[in-house]
Structure 1
Amino acid sequence: MSTQVGIKPAPAGQTVDFVDPPTQAAANIAMYTIMLVACTICLAVRMYTRATINRSFGFDDGKYLISHAWELQYRDENFANSLSPANSLLYCWIRLPRHVFWTYDRLYGGNYYVGRHIWDITLPMLIRGSKLEVWAEWSYLVVSGTVKLSYLLLYIRIFGPFQRVTPVLWTGVVFVSLIYVVLLMMSILDCQPIHSHWDKTVDGKCLPAMVLAYSSGAFNVVTDLFVLIVPMPTVWSMTLTTAKKLRVSAVFGLGIIAVSLSITRLAKTPIVFKSTDPSWDLSTFAVYS
């Protein structure tokens, strides 16, 4: 008979299962895989165009490469908390060599907990999984900031001749940089000692988790809207036909997808904090990240 104990007792009608429990990991795995492949293809096309057609690289390209590297890291940590050992073996072939250790750790450390019911998670699973989740949170902030900076730097290169918009764009660069540095520092330093982030058995002090969650969510929406809206007046001031202006605006307007996801993520934030089964509900919330 197993001596393992779940974080919470199972409610009436539910059975505790630490071996093969119900999980919502499939949706996370599907979403992360689709978006990671799509982003990687777009990055490859962009780098190919820069290298073979334009024969020039800008600072915005470097920022995009950095953000994609952190995106790999962020998705990696979320996969870690979603995968079963069998799926982790299937996944590990696309990881960078550095992640061999992480995959081994997941296979034998039992880190995968996002998507499970809270009563199907032991304390060691929660601590190890929470450590990865904290790292994913930090990676998410780096990814969000660097992606937006890469777009703003791209706008500066495209709209350089339009002197009226350049100061606005540089102001945006400074604002986004400061906001995400502050959010990252808040996230790193909000618990003392630092390992009380993931190990709640430690006697530590933390700021209310909702403060950072709502701050991060709100600033994500604001900065996404800024990146979406700021090029539009310049596009419509150009000497182009209305049809061309509409086509160019449609390209920039694809950012509405990011805005919609940021708003949805912010709206769903209370679900995680009010949930009686947070590890299960967190998988739904994570899809919008």
Structure 2
Amino acid sequence: MRQPPPEVRASWPAPNFTNPETRGPALVTVELLALSISSIFLGMRLYVRTRVVRSNLDWDDWLMIAGAIFGVGVTVCVVLASSKYGWDLHIWDLTVAKMVASRQVSFAGQNLYCTAGSLVRISIFTSYLRLAPPGSLFRRLTFVGIAASALTNFAFVVALLAECRPFNSYWNLSRYPIDCYNETPMLLAYSAIAALLDLFVWVLPLPTLYHLSLPLSQRLALVTLFGFGLVVVIASCIRIYWCYYVLEETYDVTWYGFHLWIWTAVEVQLGIICGCVPWLKVLFRLWRTGETVIGTSGRGSQTNGQRATATIGSKRGTAVRMDTLGGKGESIDLERSSAGGVSETELCRPTHWA
């Protein structure tokens, strides 16, 4: 945290520790609402996987659950920061005890935010492996995204722990001089890399989805579903602006950090929501048409190492052959369900990025 020069301190009003000006409950309301919505979307995703498709949870599901747990930690830090530790007050209205606590919760929140965002991105990249044919450019780029997300998270956490010597100097304001590096380059660099990774997550599957062997309307619908990731990119960019403003443009960091805290937690929750949206296509179609869905996406049901799924529900009583996801053209026969034949394939073998 930058120390304000004497002339800036002299311009501050007298501290008000009894009835200070506050930001109100807006931050807590937004954070709890975002957490509730993301939890609902995650719950619906897990319901589709376990009850509708009737398959075991896979790596991308467990990674998303882990990301959601860390996301809860981010929200808890935001709520504590706003309601107890002065991140809704002007900096001059904070007691020394609140200043120390606010720095501690900031330290914890940054670590949780970084890990939560990385796990969500890795979960989405892992789900792309179902679409990526073996040996394709799409598959190689997906592994690049996984590695970049993991390494960025590791590097940021290490850098944050090494920022001050000892690291508790980050919040121990009684130590003078404070032996800490300038945190601005590190935080802005990580924010920019995170935004680029969010953009990569959004753009990577679009060519493959658009070139699927499906009617144009269905391809556009899939592109739209996966395209919800654009809102995460927008949230990341807004967070970069507030990160720069809080670090470089103001010394009233707790008052203007209000905006940074909002976009920090909202970005994580939006990532979880967008990572779950593509799975809800099956659920919404079931509610609309009453179809029955069977899946062969469990671990013991694979062809050429890749998974196949299909929706069943047509009244014609016929079967269909569907290319395996990421396979090399092999097909499988899907038996009739009690409701009849096959209405459409969920996903077909990609023909792009080969």
User: How far is 1:25 from its partner?
Assistant: 4.5
> Is contact 2:188–2:244 with CA below 8 Å preserved after alignment?
no
Q: Is residue 2:39 matched to residue 1:66?
A: no
List per-residue Cα deviations over 1:2-32 (Å, max 9, x = no partner). Answer: xxxxxx86857x5632233221142211210
Q: Please, which runs of 5 or more residues in structure 2 have no aligned partner?
A: 1-7, 265-354
User: Partner residue of 1:91?
Assistant: none
User: Partner residue of 1:278?
Assistant: 253
Report the more deviating stretch, 195-204 or 68-77: 195-204
List per-residue Cα deviations over 1:120-149 (Å, max 9, x = no partner). Answer: 101111001210111001101001100100
User: Partner residue of 1:168?
Assistant: 141
Between structures 1 and 2, the one with greater strand share:
2
Residue correspondence of structure 1 range 253-264 to structure 2 within 5 A: 253-264=227-238
Cα distance between partner residues in 2 of 1:9 and 1:263: 31
Q: How many residues align?
A: 254
User: Partner residue of 1:27?
Assistant: 26
Q: Please, which runs of 5 or more residues in structure 1 have no aligned partner?
A: 1-7, 84-110
> Is contact 2:82–2:88 with CA below 8 Å preserved after alignment?
yes
The structure with the larger Rg is: 2
Between structures 1 and 2, the one with greater helix share:
1
Cα distance between partner residues in 2 of 1:10 and 1:113: 21
Cα distance between partner residues in 1 of 2:67 and 2:106: 18
List per-residue Cα deviations over 1:239-282 (Å, max 9, x = no partner). Answer: 12221121111111111111001111112222112213111000
Cα distance between partner residues in 2 of 1:25 and 1:154: 40
Which one-letter code corresponds to 2:252 in the other structure?
Answer: D
Name the SS for the 2:27 alignment partner.
helix
> Is contact 1:142–1:180 with CA below 8 Å preserved after alignment?
yes
Which one-letter code corresponds to 2:215 in the other structure?
Answer: T
User: Partner residue of 1:93?
Assistant: none
User: How far is 1:200 from its partner?
Assistant: 2.6
Residue correspondence of structure 1 range 191-210 to structure 2 within 5 A: 191-203=164-176, 204-210=178-184
Name the SS for the 1:216 alignment partner.
helix
List per-residue Cα deviations over 1:26-75 (Å, max 9, x = no partner). Answer: 22112101110011001111111111122221101110111111111111
Cα distance between partner residues in 1 of 2:30 and 2:98: 24
User: Partner residue of 2:240?
Assistant: 266
Cα distance between partner residues in 1 of 2:165 and 2:14: 36
User: Partner residue of 2:195?
Assistant: 221
Identity level (%): 20
User: Partner residue of 1:81?
Assistant: 81
Instruction: Say if 1:162 and 1:245 are closer, same or farther in 2 by CA, change over 3 A.
Output: farther
Which one-letter code corresponds to 2:28 in the other structure?
Answer: I
Cα distance between partner residues in 2 of 1:205 and 1:225: 36
Name the SS for the 1:191 alignment partner.
coil
Alpha-carbon RMSD across the aligned residues, in angstroms, is: 1.9
User: Partner residue of 1:124?
Assistant: 97
Cα distance between partner residues in 1 of 2:30 and 2:14: 29
User: Partner residue of 1:184?
Assistant: 157
Name the SS for the 1:206 alignment partner.
coil
> Is contact 1:138–1:188 with CA below 8 Å preserved after alignment?
no
| 1:248 paired residue among 192, 213, 222 | 222
Cα distance between partner residues in 1 of 2:156 and 2:15: 38
Instruction: Say if 1:136 and 1:246 are closer, same or farther in 2 by CA, change over 3 A.
Output: same
> Is contact 2:64–2:120 with CA below 8 Å preserved after alignment?
yes
Which one-letter code corresponds to 2:257 in the other structure?
Answer: L
User: Partner residue of 2:349?
Assistant: none
Which one-letter code corresponds to 1:144 in the other structure?
Answer: G
Cα distance between partner residues in 1 of 2:135 and 2:23: 49
> Is contact 1:25–1:283 with CA below 8 Å preserved after alignment?
no
User: How far is 1:162 from its partner?
Assistant: 8.2
User: How far is 1:163 from its partner?
Assistant: 3.5
Question: What TM-score, normalized to structure 1?
Answer: 0.83
Q: Is residue 2:155 matched to residue 1:155?
A: no
Q: Is residue 2:231 matched to residue 1:232?
A: no
Q: Is residue 2:57 matched to residue 1:57?
A: yes
Which one-letter code corresponds to 1:153 in the other structure?
Answer: T
> Is contact 1:25–1:114 with CA below 8 Å preserved after alignment?
no
Cα distance between partner residues in 1 of 2:123 and 2:102: 31
> Is contact 1:70–1:143 with CA below 8 Å preserved after alignment?
yes
User: Partner residue of 1:140?
Assistant: 113
Name the SS for the 1:157 alignment partner.
coil
User: Partner residue of 1:103?
Assistant: none
Question: What TM-score, normalized to structure 2?
Answer: 0.68
